[in-house]
Amino acid sequence: MGEHERSFYREGGVLLHPTSLPGPYGIGDIGPAAWRWIDWLTEAGCQIWQILPLGPTGYGDSPYQSFSSFAGNPLLISPERLVADGLLTVDDLEPLPEFPSDRVDFGTVIEYKERLLTLATERFRQDPAHPYREDFQIYCQGQASWLDDFALFMAIKGEHDGIPWIDWEPSLALRQQDALAEAKERLVAEIESHRFRQFLFSYQWETVRQRSVQKDLKIIGDIPIFVAHDSADVWAHHEFFLLDDTGMPTVVAGVPPDYFSPSGQRWGNPLYRWDKLREDGYSWWLSRLEKVLSLVDFVRLDHFRGFEAYWEIPVEAAGAESGRWVTGPGADFLEAARQALGHLPIIAEDLGLITPEVVALRETFDLPGMKVLQFAFDSDATHEYLPHNFERHCVVYTGTHDNDTTRGWYESVPDETQDFCRRYLRCNDENISWKMIKAAWSSVAERAVAPMQDLLEQGSEARMNFPSRADGNWQWRLTSDQLTPQLAKRMREMNALYGRLKPTDEEDPIER
């Protein structure tokens, strides 16, 4: 797409993961609450809903440490939809725990949702004439390339009380065929249950997608560059990861010191054998991209710089400082993706230590990068994240899921940073969040996105994730009374003033 073509559209939207939606069942889900959220975004004149990865979460509840790159999170399945579909009764929803309304208590939610999903699965199993029967079989056949391994992985994990696959008996951990055949026979009911949960997630998410299409709302998803070691991905595809003969990583992922962490970060994910992936035509990675893009319109490609070069840390190292840069697959992989997809609906998460080589890779494939305003005020007028230095082809954020809220950030930075911020935005301490949103929306960036916490002007108590903290993250939720018509009107005015309404909206003052 050329510069002239790009200049004709501008979009604005909100970052909110489905787990943060309001509702009575302890966690946001993809039922009626998601539909109401899409309707509210439409009222607000937004064209974008950005989410985090949708996969099933494990230790730490992080969507970036999922049991599968292909599966959906069963915790997002809507109990209301299960009742409407005859798989649960209203009485089954009781007793309803006293869930907090403004955060996710994952322990209680998991116990409650597990009971409901088990009941729903049993009802389906006992009803051979259920209307979903044929659709379920079609789904299982169409998704078999990943679903069979995932369902078996989760069934075996359940049999082993949830311990990582690396601690299973070697015959299962290393996928000896006799052991796998015995497990499939022994765990047939459990395997079918995990397949059915994935079908339910897919079926419910499809109604969310249909609602977004009806409202002309684009959903931006997220693909983490690395996957969890304790995942069906690594267990089923040892050949694509740098593992020893027992299945343990030999080196792990992370980043050197940067503005997120002065000592760097040791993420611990296994690294790819890009040589083997290349020999296979990158089929696993391309299938991963295709799967996510069947759920959303665009994807934020997490840690884009890792495709140019990634930070490799010896597995025995306690920290990240002893790592080294290793050349990634670069243009060869992105060209394969472009050939497979026909185009690249990708936003490059190009944060961190960015080199000219990373910029060149992004520009070669015409991918928009990211600008985060919270990083713009610790320097001077030359900082690339200040709006007057933007190029059009980018996505600007007030902050991301890894940042503090704008108010929390402002209250924690040094006086000189606060002073620069106030002078640049022409604001005072009280209206910092919306002044930051205005700076993003009024910029030349094609897309502007703000976390919902910033629209609500919340402080650090509403932060979604602390990258250096192992637990207590991903818990923040909206409450029903916060999605007000007044807030939608305020957001709509922002979109209208800065040309980010849909062309069909009557308030749009820009001829397109």
Tens-place pLDDT, residues 119-159: 999 999 999 999 999 999 999 999 999 999 999 999 999 99
Q: Name the catalytic one among 258, 402, 505, 508.
A: 402
Q: Confirm if 142 and 290 have CB atoms less than 8 A apart.
A: no
User: What's the CA gap between 227 and 57, in Å, rounded?
Assistant: 12
pLDDT of residue 469: 80
**Is the pLDDT score of 7 beyond 50?**
no
Give the containing element (helix H, strand E) for 54.
none
What integer is the mean pLDDT of 409-431? 96
Q: Confirm if 439 and 387 have CB atoms less than 8 A apart.
A: yes
For residue 295 the two structure tokens come to 């759920």
Write the pLDDT tens digit of every residue in 38-84. Answer: 999 999 999 999 999 999 998 899 999 999 999 999 999 999 999 99
23: left (phi over 0), alpha (psi -120 to 50) or beta: left
Which residues lie across from 4 on neighbouring strands?
none
**Is the pLDDT score of 103 beyond 90?**
yes
Task: Output DSSP code: residue 223.
Answer: E
User: What's the CA gap between 113 and 93, in Å, rounded?
Assistant: 10
**Is the pLDDT score of 506 beyond 60?**
no
**Is the pLDDT score of 265 beyond 70?**
yes
Which pLDDT band, with edges at 50, 70 and 90, does 390 fall under? very high
Place of tokens 């002044």: 435
Task: Work out the percent of the chain whose per-residue pLDDT is above 70.
Answer: 96
For residue 142 the two structure tokens come to 């169409």
What integer is the mean pLDDT of 228-257? 96
Is there a catalytic annotation at residue 302? yes
pLDDT of residue 507: 52
Q: Confirm if 254 and 306 have CB atoms less than 8 A apart.
A: no
pLDDT of residue 333: 98
Phi, psi of 404 (to 5 degrees): -65, 165
Place of tokens 């980010």: 500
**Is the pLDDT score of 425 beyond 60?**
yes
What integer is the mean pLDDT of 174-182? 98
Q: Count H helices, E strands: the chain?
A: 20, 12
Q: Name the catalytic one among 85, 230, 349, 454.
A: 349
Task: Work out the percent of the chain whose per-residue pLDDT is above 90.
Answer: 90
Give the containing element (helix H, strand E) for 416.
helix 415-425
What integer is the mean pLDDT of 345-354? 93
Give the containing element (helix H, strand E) for 2.
none
Which pLDDT band, with edges at 50, 70 and 90, does 1 fall under? very low
Would you state the torsion angle of the CA atoms of residues 24, 28, 31, 36, taken in this order, to the nearest 10 degrees?
90
Q: Confirm if 79 and 96 have CB atoms less than 8 A apart.
A: no
Which pLDDT band, with edges at 50, 70 and 90, does 509 fall under? very low
Looking at every residue in the chain, the average pLDDT score rounds to 94
What integer is the mean pLDDT of 351-374? 96
- Alpha-carbon torsion 66, 68, 72, 76, what sign? negative
Task: Output DSSP code: residue 494.
Answer: H
**In 282-432, which ranges are E strands?**
298-301, 309-314, 324-327, 346-348, 369-372, 394-397
What integer is the mean pLDDT of 5-28? 88
Q: Is 57 buried (19+), middle (13-18) or exposed (0-12) by CB count in 10 A?
A: buried
Which pLDDT band, with edges at 50, 70 and 90, does 263 fall under? confident
What integer is the mean pLDDT of 228-250? 97
What integer is the mean pLDDT of 231-259? 94
pLDDT of residue 259: 66
How many other CB atoms are found less than 10 A from the CB of residue 486?
7
The model carries a pTM of 0.95
- Alpha-carbon torsion 489, 493, 494, 495, what sign? positive
Is there a catalytic annotation at residue 402? yes
pLDDT of residue 497: 97
**In 351-393, which ranges are E strands?**
369-372
User: What's the CA gap between 54 and 68, in Å, rounded?
Assistant: 10
pLDDT of residue 505: 65
**Is the pLDDT score of 26 beyond 80?**
yes
Lowest mean pLDDT among 152-156, 266-270, 436-440: 266-270
Q: Name the catalytic one among 29, 80, 230, 302.
A: 302
Q: Which position has the higher pLDDT, 510 or 405?
A: 405
Query: How far apart, in Å, are the Cα atoms of 234 and each of 241, 289, 381, 454?
Result: 7, 17, 45, 37
Pairing of strands 447-451, 394-397: parallel
pLDDT of residue 512: 26
Write the pLDDT tens digit of every residue in 283-319. Answer: 999 999 999 999 999 999 999 999 999 999 999 998 8
pLDDT of residue 508: 43
Is there a catalytic annotation at residue 80? no
Would you state the torsion angle of the CA atoms of residues 377, 379, 384, 389, taken in this order, to the nearest 10 degrees?
80
* Of 405, 62, 107, 67, the residue nearest 267 (C-alpha): 62
